[in-house]
Amino acid sequence: MTNAPIAARRTHIRTHHADTFNDPYEWLREKESPEVIAHLEAENAHTDDQSAHLENLRETLFEEIKGRVQETDLSVPTRRGDWWYYGRTEEGSQYGIQCRAAAVSGDWTPPVLEPGVPVPGEEILLDSNVEAAGHEFFSLGSFDISDDATKLLWAPDLEGDELYTIRVRDLVTGETLPDEIPKTGGGFLTPDGTGIIYTTRDEAWRPDTLWLHRLGTPVQDDVTLFHEPDERFWLGAGLTRSRRFLVIGVGSSVTGEEYLVDLEGDITAEPRLVWPRTEGVEYSLEHAIVDGEDRLYIMHNQDALDFELVSVAASDPQGERHVVIAHESGRRLLGMDAFRDFATVEYRRDGLEQVGLLDYATDAVDELSFDEPLYSAGVGGNPEWHSPFLRLGYTSFVTPGTVYDLDLATRELVLRKQQPVLGGYDSADYAQARAWANASDGTQVPISMVWKRSFGEPGADVRPVHLYGYGSYEHSIDPGFSVARLSELDRGVIFAVAHVRGGGEMGRKWYEDGKMLNKRNTFTDFVACAEHLISTGVTSPEQMVAEGGSAGGLLMGAVANLAPSRFAGILASVPFVDPLTSILDPSLPLTVIEWDEWGDPLHNADVYEYMKSYAPYENVQDGVAYPRILAMTSLNDTRVLYVEPAKWVARLREAGASDVLLKCEMAAGHGGVSGRYNSWKERAFELAWMFDTLGLA
């Protein structure tokens, strides 16, 4: 048995706003230091040693996950131009294969493809297994086909640092072109297929410049299309579905601004501003042609907390606004997709996603309905400007991922495919429901739960609970199916999601009430959800494990300090547990952009004091009986640096926490390991630790 690594304490003084803090583990930030690497490897060795007794369970769980997945499978083909595009996987291969087959003119019904059966006329566009060969990590970023279907653009990341190398292949000759652009934020082909539009990042990892590369020319001759100098803002770009405009979007967490380039003219022309940026106003746009006129449909929150939808003349976007969907408190408009004859609108009401069809002529919205009480539905995979079908995705906690085509003539939902789950899965064996917890200020916080019926209803007896939470950036944790989760449910575990403030489940105010100087609500809401599950007899502290990742890892760290006795264990993935140190340093990746989410502690003493009051690392308490903790991180993560959980674990050990483990992937990024088998093994590792903590091992 190895002893837990004990990190050396070294004086490192940080002074801000007359407050001095000695950060004894800040030396772990030196990523290139052999001493730091040795410490991380010692942490991994200790974790391996402490979890060695779970090896058989991990293998069992991996085989369970693998055994439920149809390893050789295909996606539902999507029509674009004269081709059907689809992806497929093969048993034994880590990554997907992107393919296409010729379409019959006028046939919009996707061909039914059988797993393992050769597809007539198939062209393999990109085999990621070939691309990943010889690399420990592989992530496919951009993937794009030119409008004339003769060129392919792809951009892999081979380190996990989210820097992508753009490459282009001639699909007629099969030749990979000499054009290669490294260290980008990704990109796409111009509609005519003669150029690449891509972004690059500044030293703080912020996408700040948009470029045009002409195929066949040196990269050093690339043209700057747009540069955003304000370090609080990032930029992105895309083409309207009509292929008429290049849209350049500039945004922070709270403010947006968009520009148009008319592609019927010179793509290098000066981009035209749509609406000038106004602090606190966000907007996004879609292009449509209504009664022969180019119109922009703009979703915005100016004097409309939950957003409204207006349309303006594309020729005069700052002119008269026509209100299409008026603001309605509690109905959070999320987005719009414009097609030739109609548009789709996605919105959130009562904590659930909704999809409606918008009639350009009347502004009427026809809402689609689904049978389950908890579900997720959205528009996706619709590249064509005009099609007789609308592709939709659907899932719930008990319904595997499902692909529908909505027949626009009959309004009939046509089932194209449901994710196969091997081993005799029957959704009727499982149930889902929503409960409500009372927060400390009286706010009702929703809790979603899913369980296996054979173990009884929640509250009938005390059961193990896996409580998940996030609660930042207005990101919602919506109902969704998980093959790996079945290994929990089939052992009697109830999986629950605490929809805490700071997320977007209940509208924009739900988000506003859990950010900046309201951030503590996120943490106390989670504790309130845990208390509700305990007080109603669903579980007990000895049978509850909490989990969160990234900003949800901040939640885990804060909860460990606030309510250590309410949980048997805490699983924190790539956890943002040293937020004050990070947000104080503008030179770190993405820090300045984050000031709109957390506040600016560098220049605001009140924000500094507030963040210091909840920062997990700085609030670890000596002599407290902490629950078991497993922290997962990655050496090449550029969003939450490995040093945060490394410091946190060191401080917990110093404080006397008896069972704290750190697992650091030495060749991965923010999303963890790459490859589906590697991902399943990583999840099996986490679940085995969780079951051990819950007494189910």
- Catalytic residue list: 550, 637, 670
- H/E stretch holding 272: strand 272-273
CA distances from 67 to 91, 173, 200, 483, 680 (A): 11, 40, 41, 10, 11
Distance separating alpha carbons of residues 157 and 147, to the nearest angstrom: 25
Q: What is the DSSP letter of 339?
A: -
Q: Do the Cβ atoms of 184 and 166 come closer than 8 Å?
A: yes
Which alpha helices (H) appear in 69-176, and where do they start and end? 128-132
Residue 582 contacts residue 595 (beta carbons within 8 Å): no
In angstroms, the CA 339 to CA 405 distance is: 15
What is the three-class DSSP state of 374? Answer: coil
Which token pair is 62? 């991996």
β 139-145/402-407 pair status:
unpaired
Q: State the burial class of residue 37 (Cβ atoms within 10 Å of its Cβ: 0-12, 13-18, 19+).
A: middle
Residue 39: DSSP 8-state: H
Q: What is the dihedral of CA 471, 474, 476, 477, to 10 degrees?
A: -30
Q: Give the helix/strand (H/E) hosting 523.
A: helix 520-535
Q: For residue 496, give Cα distances in angstroms to 241, 477, 489, 532, 546.
A: 38, 11, 11, 12, 10
Give CA–CA dist 28/26, Å, rounded: 5
Phi and psi for 179 in degrees, rounded to 5?
-65, 120
